Structure 1
Amino acid sequence: MKVIFRILRMLRFLLINKKLVGMISPAPPGSLGDEALISGFSALIKSKGKRFQEILVYPNTIPCENEIATDSVLNFINDGRKSNLTLAIKLLKYEHLYIIGADTLDGGYSPAKNLAWVNIANLASELGVAVSFISFSFSNEPNSSVLDALSKSNSNIKFCARDPASKNRFEQLTSKPAKQVADLAFSMVPVYDKEHVKKFRDWLESEKKAGKIIIGLNINTLPLDIPIHQIVSNFYGAIKKTLNNYENVTFALLPHDFRENQSDEAVLAQLASKLNEPDRIRLFRGPFHASEVKAVVSGIDMLISGRMHLAIAALSQGVPVFCFTYKDKFEGLMAIFGLDNTLFDKSLISSEETILSTLESAISNYAIQSAIIKEKLPSVKKLSALNVDTKD
């Protein structure tokens, strides 16, 4: 097999397409967060005059839905030497192979998937293909098998961590160097020309003209141990009091996940129905794409979110955010902007009083945060672009 690989490496200069790169997505389709990462990647690859081909490594899945810079799909079944040889022949044409790590590289969700990633990365690197793991966060407690595989991976493979804390953790745990970047989603291009986007933005604009402060609200129930009806009840009480205490406040309810077992829209729809304040509360109904909700988010004054990539959609347009956190990735995101007092533990959702306190804190501090974000944003966007920068 080694002899065959040496021959393939020598043949690569005849087969390489310098306008084509390979991409492995962080998970099967369904998450708007992952879609935002892929859209940002697409925009950056397109800006370099290139296209990408997605390599499918997940069973029973379909390609990511994406309108920019895509090429045909390459299916890969990780079942031994024969599949490795078949993949090797197809990898030869790539100028670069990018693996989008997101919050999954540390093995916290699927160690088998991450081990397949490292296998493909080593294979490509042995063939002379440039390989980068990009836009990833890394926890303090990675899976031991994945950590061992990453630590022993080919020395030519590059790693790009999306926040300072993840960079430090990754380097300390693997003894591998990592480049500091920012999340790929900062490079996603918003889409304004869809009818449902225009209609919702028209309402936001009318509220702004009327002197209203618009609070975007997202509720992510996935990491919570509280029944849905209790979550709705807690937010209902807090929002009712906020509307009574602040006559100039309105709410835009913004889902960012429509998957059956974790739909933001389901809980937000229940909340909107219970509040029954159509003049002051609107739900942006899906389904829609990550690029479309990013266009909507540009019209609000601040965002309170349980989804990190919805927060990035806001931050990337200078909109202040306040997040209910459930993983280390939120802390790293805010560290890039040097922001304090913007993160709230998910446990605060357990009572009406703590949610109300969070809303009042956001209303009091969003203007100060806005100035900080706008000052830092150009440098953060440059960090995002470094994910696909082939220079060291």
Structure 2
Amino acid sequence: MMMHRQYLIDQAIIARNILRVALPLQRLRASATRPTLPETPTRFAIIAGDVTDPSSSLGDLAMFSALMQSLRAQNPDSIFTIIGERRHTIVVPGIGETPVEPAWAGKTGTLAFDELIRQHHALFVMGADILDGKYGAALVQRIVAYCNHSVLLGIPATMLGFSFNRNPRAPAVHALSRLHPHVTVNIRDQPSLDRFTRIVGVLAQLCADSAFLMPSATDPITEPEAWIASMRQEGRTPVGINLNAHALAPAIAEVGMDQLIDHFAEQFKRAGEQNGLAFMLLPHDLKSQSGDVSMLQALDQALQRKGFTHVRYASIDQPDKIKRLIGLLDLAITGRMHLVIASLGSGTPTLSITYQDKFEGLYQHFELSLEHTITPMQCLTDELLRKINDAFMHRHDNRARILSHLPRVKALASQNLAIATCGHTD
């Protein structure tokens, strides 16, 4: 019964996309003159990973920053438009205020997209982890329709490097399997590429996440950096910690939030005492439902109650600043993919809390052992302490390994910037 119900839901998603997006775009292509574009592209449209609030995730801001700064380095005249649900502006590190234009919801959004894309020279999609349908299959259906429409107008479309889990949503696979061959598909790790090729059957290329191209902030972040320096003067090694409700959902469901935080505090206290550590708590998503802020503040209080005072909560709202800070630490413990990317991109080793098939391929890029990952359910046991101790013991070797592979990974990330040419065939 449940399978039958899901099938009907999936078919409704596909039918709604045909009626509200695909057919209107087809009619617009048939009735309107196709745009004539200059040889040098300067105007770029970008579909946000979160169209409802493009700047709420620091990971998304990191990808925006990396892409825009890299394109502007190639052409200083580059200008950008982010596609979302409502008209406003966001501040992108290294770029400044950037407009968000409503070209998404319903048939009205479809018509707005057609008008908008004809004024741009290329389209980019923030792939990350949304294209397997985990966060909405209708989202993927519309993205594919927009990409196909773009290339059929002769405007290149690129899906920036994304991961692809083992169980993608059926409407997402349905849409992706119908991608126009001129749409450039970048996948950010080899296991995801293997799954995508097997399940979807569309040509794609290996890259690394575009966020690896984001530069660190250059200006000192006074108070947190002073705290890091003071901990080192006391003979303590600073380690970054991020907890979030998304990665730890199975553990929260098992024991509840309060017990989980108490367990983390006890394990971190023991690791801190055994290894002379100090902990910087770093939220990387500021949405209330993400849990980063509330969980880390609760962890701070729990550690203080247990008598471990070498801890500091750092409220930083820009990804380039977080990348600068995390580069000053010896180790990062997190379940946030883009915090891991910021850490590895700075040479700092990580212990990653894994979920959604995303971390295996990232570690492969650096030939790092999966021993330095941990599942949410393992976090409920003393395995957490063992993993922290092991990651700490191997931090110097892992830093050397990361730094040796980083130039190749950045070169793979740069492949996201290649803008293909495309014809006008329907």
In the superposition, the TM-score normalised over structure 2's length comes to 0.83
1:160 aligns to what SS in structure 2?
Answer: strand
Provide the residue aligned with 1:93 in structure 2: 119
Q: CA deviation at 1:245?
A: 2.1
Q: CA deviation at 1:31?
A: 1.6
Provide the residue aligned with 1:199 in structure 2: 223
Pick which of 184-193 and 91-100 moved more: 184-193
**1:118 corresponds to 2:144:** yes
Percent sequence identity over aligned pairs: 26
Work out the CA distance in 1 between the residues paired with 2:35 and 2:271. 67
**1:347 corresponds to 2:371:** no
1:103 aligns to what SS in structure 2?
Answer: coil
Provide the residue aligned with 2:310 in structure 1: 280
Structure 1 residues 346 and 8, CA gap change in structure 2 (3 angstroms): same
Structure 1 residues 12-33: Cα deviation after superposition (integer angstroms, max 9, x where no partner) = 237x872111100111332222
Aligned pairs for 1:222-233 within 5 A: 222=246, 223=249, 224=251, 225=253, 226-233=255-262
Provide the residue aligned with 1:361 in structure 2: 390
Asked whether the equivalents of residues 303 and 309 of structure 2 are also in contact (C-alpha less than 8 Å), the reply is no
Equivalent position to 2:182, from 137, 156, 161: 156
Asked whether the equivalents of residues 217 and 251 of structure 1 are also in contact (C-alpha less than 8 Å), the reply is yes
1:53 aligns to what SS in structure 2?
Answer: strand
Aligned residue identity for 1:356: L
Aligned residue identity for 1:344: I
Aligned residue identity for 1:159: V
1:221 aligns to what SS in structure 2?
Answer: coil
**1:306 corresponds to 2:330:** no
Work out the CA distance in 2 between the residues paired with 1:270 and 1:70. 34
**Structure 2 residue ranges without an equivalent (≥5):** 1-24, 422-426
Work out the CA distance in 2 between the residues paired with 1:78 and 1:171. 30
Work out the CA distance in 1 between the residues paired with 2:186 and 2:112. 28
Work out the CA distance in 2 between the residues paired with 1:274 and 1:3. 60
**Structure 1 residue ranges without an equivalent (≥5):** none
**1:22 corresponds to 2:69:** no
Q: CA deviation at 1:356?
A: 1.3
1:355 aligns to what SS in structure 2?
Answer: helix
Work out the CA distance in 1 between the residues paired with 2:28 and 2:390. 63
Work out the CA distance in 1 between the residues paired with 2:90 and 2:145. 22
**1:190 corresponds to 2:219:** no
Work out the CA distance in 1 between the residues paired with 2:240 and 2:316. 18
Structure 1 residues 185-227: Cα deviation after superposition (integer angstroms, max 9, x where no partner) = 1111222436xx2210122123234443222111122223231
Aligned pairs for 1:1-392 within 5 A: 5=29, 8=32, 10-13=34-37, 18-27=41-50, 28-29=53-54, 30-49=56-75, 50-56=78-84, 58=85, 62-67=88-93, 68=95, 71-80=98-107, 84-193=110-219, 197-222=221-246, 223=249, 224=251, 225=253, 226-246=255-275, 248-276=276-304, 280-284=310-314, 286=315, 288-340=317-369, 341-351=371-381, 353-390=382-419
Asked whether the equivalents of residues 184 and 385 of structure 1 are also in contact (C-alpha less than 8 Å), the reply is yes
Work out the CA distance in 2 between the residues paired with 1:384 and 1:238. 36
2:157 aligns to what SS in structure 1?
Answer: strand
Structure 1 residues 231-284: Cα deviation after superposition (integer angstroms, max 9, x where no partner) = 1211121122223323x3222222212221222122222222222257521111
Structure 1 residues 52-75: Cα deviation after superposition (integer angstroms, max 9, x where no partner) = 21122x4x5755432517654332
Pick which of 235-244 and 136-145 moved more: 235-244
Count of residues in Structure 1 that have an aligned counterpart in Structure 2 = 383
Pick which of 270-279 and 158-167 moved more: 270-279
